[in-house]
Structure 1
Amino acid sequence: MAKTNAGNFFEDYKIGQVIKHAVPRTVSGGERAMYHALYPARHALYSSDEFARASGLPASPMDDLITFHTVFGKTVPDVSLNAVANLGYGEGKFLKPIYPGDTLRSESEVIGLKQNSNGKSGVVYVRTRGLNQNDEAVLEYVRWVMVRKRDLDAPAPETVLPDLAKVVDPADLVIPEGLDFTNYDFDLAGESHRWGDYEVGETIDHVDGVTIEEAEHMIATRLWQNTAKVHFDATFRPDGQRLIYGGHVISMARALSFNGLANAQMIVGLNGGAHANPCFSGDTVKAWTEVLDKAETSAPGVGAVRLRLVATKAGAEPFALKGEDGKYLPDVLLDLDYWALMPL
């Protein structure tokens, strides 16, 4: 009997199926240090215990995207090991900050299936929850991924497409307990721009760029224990290139957005996201943001701002997203719609 795991293929998934993912992961200060080494991440709340305490938190939490990558990485062997591509995200909520010493695990429910017209693959929708050592949910989100079929003659399942909200309602955003930006130190944070300084419809060019390196991408993918073949095995794709993990692009773009959004401290909602085009080693990533909406919160001195973060290859036309055909322009890598918390 085979002891190894070839991963799930499209025909293996069933609506309502619940998958408990291996292996739990205890995070430490090492993850934070590595994250800040891989990306130019420097938001103050995630860099300084003293800044976090002045903002009402017990210490500096781990970057939100460390939580996302860790939870996501657990799901890969069961959900996307045989993926062609990760297609999108929705209904994401960060429910509780995590700190060094917390242990995270993941579980997913299959909520949608649709076989592609070519009969060789299909799209699987899962709702994933990340839980800590106390069985408290710290993160939940939906993602959909294109997965190969093992048996091309396997019958297509009944198509089920989940009805997903386009935007997480601001009233449903979870504000970390104790968060208070009343005495926020703008000098230490790095910029003076506050919630009231941003207008809906405003666009921000984040100016800086970072060239993606093969070694850094591979370190990141291993760090989050992401075992998807397209990221590791150069023989898995016809072009012989390893695909850069989409989360690597997300973190790079988020870090670049510091220049212009240094006070967008915490990600609390993920409204939607698409990896518009593949990214490969040698591509230089740049980023721009559009302000989509704003909302007040119940936390003292804290406002929420809805942002569209777009990562592009260097040389892309500024603030251009889609062509006349409605499709993403070829130099667009990422289109991410999220809620962040910012001082009023």
Structure 2
Amino acid sequence: MTDLSRRSLLGAAAVTAAAATSVKAQTVAPADPTEVVHLWPNGAPGGENVTVTPIVPERSTDPSFHDRYAQYTTDPILTVLRPERPNGAALLLIPGGGYRWAVLDKEGFDVARVFAAAGVTCFVLRYRLPADGWAAGPNAPLQDAQRALRLIRANAANYGIDPARIASLGASAGGHLAGLLAARQDATYELIDEADAVSHRPDLNILLYPVATMTDPLVHAGSREHLLGPSPTPQQMTEWSLETMDWVGVAPTILIHALDDASVRPENSLQLLTTLRACDVVSEAHLFQEGGHGFGIRLIAGKPAAVWPELVLAFGRRNGWLTA
């Protein structure tokens, strides 16, 4: 564990306390950002056999916060949160949901608001899911993530950001997708415009309680089934496991996990950390005594894991993502 200075602890407490206070002070859920970018101008690729109808159900019964998930997405989008005082850094947020859906608020907008308060321009990704009939199958979500990162970088001047300071943050199965975005060098779709001429790889990687392995006994079975189907071959399971990929040359990467995570076991992060170190990736890992799974921001107020956004910001400062 990192030996935090008293100043870092105070800063972390301020960030998380502010987030908790803003949630408690709301009498209605905060309004959604209205700036939306559609990833594919002529429709997402390989959708000829897709017949699903998109839904965005609300799970929260508390009017002070949203807890929505997007399922059967056919028109992938980025939702932009611009900070009041931008610092030039950008963050692509990839929510989790076991590749069954994408949790928009808990691991998307809620997290984005905390980082936007620190001056980071945030982009929440609503991506397609692999079991919905897309021709690319398990590559469909990665197509969206690669296209999203490229659109952010290609339009950096319009967003007031530095094209060399774009991070990605993936949570749970979104952490697996963010890991693919970082490690995979191959383009997964045919280039369609000038935006596709720039790199799709992030300048910093933040993996929050990530689904990493697709192999037993540590796999999150639901994520594997929705990504690879009910009966993947041993070769498929190995090829889609983050810890078996070539991470040489990947940008600095930070891992966040709770030791009491019963859904995605912390060994997912530990195995991946071993690979990162073997590939000489600048890396850091934080394992918390408690926090469970899917904690995001709101669910860990007052718990040790609540400092994770400040730990990420500090890691970003040391590695060039943040300049102040």
Normalising by structure 1, we get a TM-score of 0.30
Larger fraction in helix: 2
Larger fraction in strand: 1
More relative contact order in 1 or in 2 (CA 8 Å, sep 6+)?
1
Which structure has the larger Rg? 1
